[in-house]
A and B are shown apart, each in its own frame.
Chain A
């Protein structure tokens, strides 16, 4: 029954091969671009998040409530070891470490700057962040080290120091006392985040606790999950554990989104600007389709007149035309999506080199090589949008045929 309809639609699609090819190419190109771009965006976000997380934030942090906003040295995690034991019991936790922070003045022979002094556990830190791997000069801290420090690259430049030089730290201890000491520069690191490299120095945690009168307490327990997807589960588990043990603990669990609102914002802006571009792309394609079908229908008025004279109802004629437009758009969408998957898959395996990346992205430590990532969402969203919009566009010329009267159509020749 439908076979002649289908044959007819398919042959009509190819009556003007060049116009049809152009339209199919436009649709296919849009689908290809959408699949690639969305896979690219989703893939690069994951890369961005994963590398940003590993510079220092971690997937999650356990802190005293209010510490993130006030950075008050007195808001501490009293018993980090207990939390460590809890984390050991969670299979999705990959690794964790402890840190303590204090704002202090740091002076070299020539200059003085206000910086964030961070106390780290050298061994745990090496497993949790990229710090140990981002040393540019000197050496990383070791377990027995005390009055030694790692300094951010830009800060070292500002202070005009090299490994082996001495620095004076002057701050305030947890108990309000003056915290002052002299440390020797052991290494200089470049994390890739300029802000961080301009304003931080790292000293061993036990030494920090001594200088700043912290006792056994820390400010942050930094947690890495096995994958990004584990984050909500781990967060839930830790929160529950903390609450059930001691509802008054005053500790909170923050995930990377709460720790790096700037990154979340950058991703959102990128996503929105992407969607605006995609929308415009689809609108352009829709106009090309509109043009194709309006032309085709104007050219074939006489033919429609004959078909209607034979007794085809207007509704049936509309269906025939929609069959034609669907055949055409489906071919385009199929080819484009397939090509999009292949192209994206190639770059997913081999990576895509970007040298001129935007500053916003580099600020979050984006690596130079990015791998787009195919997913059901990145494959389907674009082509589905193209399908819907082109479908709606094809409706207009097809419905215009309803207004055609057979006698007028036949009279025009």
Chain B
């Protein structure tokens, strides 16, 4: 079963008279439970594609379907609700709400979903333990290392059992050891909880962790290979 389906997605940015074609017709299917790397050099369109799949940005043409929901003509509020239920995001940096503790950051998503307080606390603690942050519940983002912050971000992204987690260069700001540990943790979550991960990268080490590698170049799919990590 395909959890994400992109059909001929295009996107062109306009800045004054300048036009930049970011995506030139991308079609892509991703199966449930996948651990997919979107790889390509900087400027190739990875971020644009992830944003469109996540409903943060709209495609100029083509179609995007996430777990049966067609995103193409949704309003901002509908997209927000879809993101809330189906999609988790992990960005390169500044993922967390600075005034909330690690635990509260994770709780916040469940708060939006209306999960009762008790259950919210239990689930937030459990997931933080799962990503290796036991004992750090009450730390504010500023009191956590970069790697720990990204772990909180992953915990927050997967805590509400989304259909997919989109991670845009999640290791780009981490040293290679911390980056590898984060990816290994993501891999464990992918297997244990069968959450689908799509992450972008231009780092060879990160690509090696993926079980499917999709290569983008100049806004077009260049290669697509299944691999054994």
Q: Measuring CB to CB, which residues of chain A are less than 8 angstroms from any residue of chain B?
A: 1, 3-5, 7-8, 11-12, 15, 302-303, 306-316, 405-407, 410, 413
Partner of B97, one of A3, A306, A410: A306
| Smallest CB gap from B84: residue in A | A311
Q: Is B112 a contact partner of A316 (Cβ separation < 8 A)?
A: yes
User: How close is B88's CB to chain A, nearest CB, in angstroms?
Assistant: 8
Q: Does B107 contact A (CB under 8 A)?
A: yes
Question: How many chain B residues touch the partner (CB < 8 A)?
Answer: 32
The 9 closest A-B pairs by CB, nearest first: A311-B84, A11-B99, A311-B83, A407-B57, A313-B80, A407-B56, A309-B89, A406-B56, A313-B77
What residues on B are CB-neighbors of A7 within 8 Å? 99-100, 104
User: How close is B27's CB to chain A, nearest CB, in angstroms?
Assistant: 22
Query: Which chain B residues numbered 92 to 120 have a C-beta less than 8 Å away from chain A?
Result: 93-100, 104, 107-109, 111-112, 114, 117
What residues on B are CB-neighbors of A5 within 8 Å? 111
User: How close is B125's CB to chain A, nearest CB, in angstroms?
Assistant: 15
What residues on B are CB-neighbors of A302 within 8 Å? 94
Partner of B83, one of A15, A303, A309: A309
Q: Does B170 contact A (CB under 8 A)?
A: no
Q: Is B54 a contact partner of A303 (Cβ separation < 8 A)?
A: no
Known: A306-B95, A308-B80, A313-B80. A4 touches B100 (CB 8 A): yes
Known: A7-B104, A316-B112, A410-B56. A311 touches B94 (CB 8 A): no
Q: Is B104 a contact partner of A4 (Cβ separation < 8 A)?
A: yes
Known: A7-B104, A8-B97, A306-B97. A314 touches B109 (CB 8 A): no
User: How close is A299's CB to chain B, nearest CB, in angstroms?
Assistant: 11
Known: A309-B56, A310-B156, A313-B81. A8 touches B95 (CB 8 A): no
What residues on A are CB-neighbors of B99 within 8 Å? 7-8, 11-12, 15
Interface majority SS on A: helix, strand, loop or mixed? helix
Partner of B80, one of A3, A8, A306, A311: A311
| Smallest CB gap from A411: residue in B | B47
What residues on B are CB-neighbors of A12 within 8 Å? 99
User: With the chains together, A224 CA to B57 CA distance in Å?
Assistant: 78
User: With the chains together, A8 CA to B104 CA distance in Å?
Assistant: 9
Q: Is A306 a contact partner of B83 (Cβ separation < 8 A)?
A: no
Q: Is A312 a contact partner of B80 (Cβ separation < 8 A)?
A: yes
| Smallest CB gap from B95: residue in A | A306
Partner of A410, one of B76, B91, B156: B91
Q: Is B80 a contact partner of A413 (Cβ separation < 8 A)?
A: no
Q: Does B217 contact A (CB under 8 A)?
A: no
Q: Is A314 a contact partner of B80 (Cβ separation < 8 A)?
A: yes
What residues on A are CB-neighbors of B114 within 8 Å? 1
User: How close is B119's CB to chain A, nearest CB, in angstroms?
Assistant: 12
| Smallest CB gap from B47: residue in A | A411
What residues on A are CB-neighbors of B109 within 8 Å? 310-311
What residues on B are CB-neighbors of A308 within 8 Å? 80
User: With the chains together, A4 CA to B80 CA distance in Å?
Assistant: 20
Known: A1-B117, A309-B89. A303 touches B77 (CB 8 A): no
Q: Is A315 a contact partner of B108 (Cβ separation < 8 A)?
A: no
User: How close is A153's CB to chain B, nearest CB, in angstroms?
Assistant: 71
What residues on A are CB-neighbors of B100 within 8 Å? 4, 7-8, 11
Q: Is A4 a contact partner of B89 (Cβ separation < 8 A)?
A: no
User: How close is B84's CB to chain A, nearest CB, in angstroms?
Assistant: 3
What residues on B are CB-neighbors of A1 within 8 Å? 111, 114, 117
Q: Is B54 a contact partner of A311 (Cβ separation < 8 A)?
A: no
Among B54, B76, B80: residue with most chain A CB under 10 A:
B80
